[in-house]
Chains A and B, each alone.
Chain A
Amino acid sequence: MSVEATGIPNAEALYQQAPCALLLINEKGLILEVNQTFCQWLGHTREQLIGTRKLQELLTVGGRMFYQTHWMPLLAMQGFITEVKLDFLTAQGTVAPMVLNAGRREHEGQVLNAVSAFIVADRMRFEQELLQAKRQAEDALQRHVVLEHELNRQRELAVDRALFAEQMIGIVSHDLRNPLQVVSMAAQYLRSQDMTERQDTMLGHIGEATTRSQRLINDLLDFTQARIGQGLAVSRAPIQLDRVIAAAVASLRLLHPHREIAFSASDEALFCQADADRLAQLLGNLVTNAVTYGDGASPIDVRVSAAQGTVEIAVHNVGNPIDETQLSTIFSPMTRGAEAGREVRSVGLGLFIVSEIAKAHGGVVEVVSTAQAGTTFAVRFPAYASGGH
């Protein structure tokens, strides 16, 4: 390196040996001037480059496409370009990745572009690791998205199937009503004839079985109406609640002659707006439930009361408490008591229908069940539908 009197290398030496590549190219990319550093990096001589080679010709094919689609237009439009990474091909055929800056200069009417560049081999290895990691993350995300799509699809299929099954239940239940009606009427007709005692007993069984079947079908129809229709239909009218419930208790006593069913009311005359038939159905389901799961030797208590505009119908029985794990789902359809296996009485729609009837009255049903106090189902709803008395 030639050294001037000041002790500092002259400009030409600094340029030639600079720790970065320095080039001057014209608008077409032709190399007009290049320093020693660039020549060394690429393994070419100055003579091989100056006036004969274009910058883009020294790039890999990918780099050259990038040069044409990005570098060239950007340099032409804004006159400078910074931090572009391009791969150069060395004379030995190896790839030398470089980061380049370029700026436009006008010199004696000629447009020139000054270019500086330096090799970024280590940095590129690091960047490739980053890219690799990024790709892996993207792949993982993609797999996750695909999985999620599949789960959603399966879920939709399951929902469709469930809906279809529920509609099926509704249709079949509806269609079963007519033949059952015929059986029931025919049995009643036979009753009026002269019959042996045994025939009479058999007719009694037919009558009970058809009544139970009709109840079951009504439950199923209510269930489908609540699930896939617009909710359970109720028609509220002014009623005297204590009387309606007392009458319902009386018929339940006939249905369960071996169980004691006690009835009490907090007031003499409890008036409210409700669907009397639906309340009788609700009470029937709760009492049937108490008969099935309660202690057979203890009475079942039915109590109606009113406080602060809310009426309550409570059914209490003594016996083993309901398992805690079942309490949260007890009002869902198809839920059955743990011990019911010994005598399955229904498909488990009773409490679901109780809760739907309570809902249709703007109310709720709650259950409290302990070993000491026994089990109490309490249905509460506003005495009058919103909008006045």
Chain B
Amino acid sequence: MSVQARNNVVVKGQGPLTLVFAHGFGCDQNMWRMVEPTFAKRYRTVLFDMVGCGKSDVGAYDIDKYSTLAGYAEDIVEIIQEFKQGPVVFIGHSVGAMAGVMAANLSRGLISAHAMVGPSPSYITDEDYPGGFTRGDIDALLSTLESNYLGWSSAMAPRIMGNSETPELGAELTNSFCQTDPNIAKRFARVTFLTDSREDVRQLREPVLVIQSSDDFIAPRAVGEYLTQVIDDCRMVLVENEGHCPHLSQPAACIDAIQTFLDQTCGHLPA
């Protein structure tokens, strides 16, 4: 099966850089629809769905492979190798950003810079690390997920998607939340919230931008600041935003931050 079909890869735009957009947990590539079109006017943009999410090929979901973030990172390496033109800037949201970190470490030189939206290398609070959650909190999330998927069966998804009161949604915009297989969603939640990527981010050598929301329950400010301390070349931009998805609720601020980062770094990027 092709990488394109496996990850529902969508390529747009032309330009000196390739921007690869990775979604986070609970979403798919549609999460970038307020941000990516602006960049598609100037750069080559690559959007994709992680296997098991959105319109990816669910048949490609291998329990062993995707039981760690490394499985997702391998896919990202393949996507970039197949679709890149020129230097690659990886723009990842949440766990997508961490998958990008792992891909960069797997294949040195593949990614020239990282823009991370709401990143967190580890969610569980450790001695001197402010992750924000306990193991019990993560278990509570898993159980909330489970009780929701009881009601959100696959049979219901089409009815919700076909809501005629929201024409702006369009038929092509699928409800990725509903479309995710409950078992896959649960496993992806485990990978997302129980992976400790702190060692991986320390190994990063490329320039990094962290877009930090002023009030993000999932990735608190202290985590963003932690990243600026442990990564060699890291800058943080604080966006006035409530929640974990500033690229949806404050797209203009995110676009500005990313564009500034590209302007600052892209002149120095190796081809």
A residues with CB within 8 A of B: 27-29, 54, 56, 60-66, 68-70, 72-74, 76-80, 82-87, 97, 99, 124, 127-128, 130-131
Question: A97 CA to B216 CA in the complex, in Å?
Answer: 24
Is the CB–CB distance between B217 and A56 below 8 Å?
Answer: yes
**Pick the contact of B31 from A28, A73, A82, A86 — CB < 8 Å?**
A73
Q: Knowing A73-B26, A78-B175 are in contact, say whether A85-B148 is a contact too (CB < 8 A).
A: yes
B38 contacts the other chain (Cβ, under 8 Å)?
no
Question: A60 CA to B146 CA in the complex, in Å?
Answer: 15
From B5-13, B84-92, B137-145, B204-212, the one touching the partner chain is B137-145
Is the CB–CB distance between B177 and A65 below 8 Å?
Answer: no
Q: Which residues of A contact B249 (CB under 8 A)?
A: 27, 72, 76
Question: A80 CA to B141 CA in the complex, in Å?
Answer: 22
Q: How far is the CB of B201 from chain A (nearest CB, A)?
A: 21
Is the CB–CB distance between A85 and B147 below 8 Å?
Answer: yes
**Pick the contact of A76 from B141, B173, B248 — CB < 8 Å?**
B248
B44 contacts the other chain (Cβ, under 8 Å)?
no
Is the CB–CB distance between B140 and A60 below 8 Å?
Answer: yes
Q: Knowing A78-B175, A83-B151 are in contact, say whether A65-B218 is a contact too (CB < 8 A).
A: yes
Q: How far is the CB of A102 from chain B (nearest CB, A)?
A: 13
B154 contacts the other chain (Cβ, under 8 Å)?
no
From B52-60, B64-72, B237-245, the one touching the partner chain is B237-245
Is the CB–CB distance between A84 and B148 below 8 Å?
Answer: yes
Q: How far is the CB of B56 from chain A (nearest CB, A)?
A: 18
Q: Which residues of B contact A74 (CB under 8 A)?
A: 175, 177
Q: Which residues of A contact B24 (CB under 8 A)?
A: 69
Is the CB–CB distance between A66 and B150 below 8 Å?
Answer: no
Q: How far is the CB of A51 from chain B (nearest CB, A)?
A: 15
Q: How far is the CB of A104 from chain B (nearest CB, A)?
A: 9
Give a binary string over B229-271; 1 marks a CB under 8 Å from any A CB, 0 the rest: 0000000000000111100110000000000000000000000
Is the CB–CB distance between A72 and B244 below 8 Å?
Answer: yes
Question: A76 CA to B251 CA in the complex, in Å?
Answer: 12
Is the CB–CB distance between A87 and B144 below 8 Å?
Answer: yes
B39 contacts the other chain (Cβ, under 8 Å)?
no
Is the CB–CB distance between A70 and B26 below 8 Å?
Answer: yes
Question: A82 CA to B159 CA in the complex, in Å?
Answer: 11
Q: List 30 A-B contacts (CB under 8 A).
A: A27-B242, A61-B133, A61-B140, A61-B141, A62-B137, A62-B140, A63-B140, A63-B144, A64-B217, A65-B133, A65-B141, A65-B217, A68-B216, A68-B218, A68-B244, A69-B25, A69-B218, A72-B243, A74-B175, A76-B249, A77-B31, A77-B248, A78-B173, A80-B165, A83-B152, A83-B156, A85-B151, A86-B144, A128-B147, A130-B150
- Residues in B151-191 with C-beta less than 8 Å from chain A: 151-152, 156, 160, 163, 165-166, 168-169, 173, 175, 177
Q: Which residues of A contact B144 (CB under 8 A)?
A: 60, 62-63, 65-66, 85-87
Q: Which residues of B contact A82 (CB under 8 A)?
A: 160
Q: Which residues of A contact B141 (CB under 8 A)?
A: 61-62, 65-66
Q: How far is the CB of B251 from chain A (nearest CB, A)?
A: 10
Is the CB–CB distance between A77 and B173 below 8 Å?
Answer: yes
Q: Which residue of A lies closest to B31 (CB)?
A: A73
Q: Knowing A65-B217, A72-B244 are in contact, say whether A80-B166 is a contact too (CB < 8 A).
A: yes
Question: A66 CA to B175 CA in the complex, in Å?
Answer: 16
Question: A61 CA to B169 CA in the complex, in Å?
Answer: 30
Question: A215 CA to B270 CA in the complex, in Å?
Answer: 78
Q: When A and B form their complex, what is the total count of cross-chain residue pairs whose Cβ atoms lie within 8 Å? A: 107
Is the CB–CB distance between B151 and A99 below 8 Å?
Answer: yes
Question: A131 CA to B151 CA in the complex, in Å?
Answer: 12
Which of A70, A82, A131 is packed against the most chain B CB atoms within 10 Å?
A: A70
Q: Which residues of B contact A61 (CB under 8 A)?
A: 133, 137, 140-141
B27 contacts the other chain (Cβ, under 8 Å)?
yes
B30 contacts the other chain (Cβ, under 8 Å)?
yes
Is the CB–CB distance between B248 and A79 below 8 Å?
Answer: no
Is the CB–CB distance between B169 and A78 below 8 Å?
Answer: yes
Give a binary string over B18-52; 1 marks a CB under 8 Å from any A CB, 0 the rest: 00000011110011010000000000000000000
Q: How far is the CB of A132 from chain B (nearest CB, A)?
A: 11
Q: Which residues of B contact A97 (CB under 8 A)?
A: 147
Q: Which residues of A contact B248 (CB under 8 A)?
A: 72-73, 76-77
Top 6 nearest A-B pairs (CB, nearest first) are A62-B140, A69-B26, A62-B141, A28-B242, A61-B137, A68-B244
Q: How far is the CB of B53 from chain A (nearest CB, A)?
A: 12
Question: A131 CA to B147 CA in the complex, in Å?
Answer: 8
Q: Knowing A69-B25, A69-B218 are in contact, say whether A77-B30 is a contact too (CB < 8 A).
A: yes
Q: Which residue of A lies closest to B93 (CB)?
A: A73
Q: Which residue of B lies closest to A83 (CB)?
A: B151
**Pick the contact of B143 from A62, A69, A130 — CB < 8 Å?**
A62
Q: How far is the CB of A264 from chain B (nearest CB, A)?
A: 67
Q: How far is the CB of B37 from chain A (nearest CB, A)?
A: 15
Q: Which residues of B contact A62 (CB under 8 A)?
A: 137-144
Q: Which residue of B lies closest to A26 (CB)?
A: B242
Q: Which residues of A contact B169 (CB under 8 A)?
A: 77-79
Question: A370 CA to B133 CA in the complex, in Å?
Answer: 81
Question: A83 CA to B153 CA in the complex, in Å?
Answer: 11
Question: A66 CA to B152 CA in the complex, in Å?
Answer: 14
Q: Which residue of B lies closest to A28 (CB)?
A: B242
Question: A66 CA to B217 CA in the complex, in Å?
Answer: 11
Question: A99 CA to B152 CA in the complex, in Å?
Answer: 12
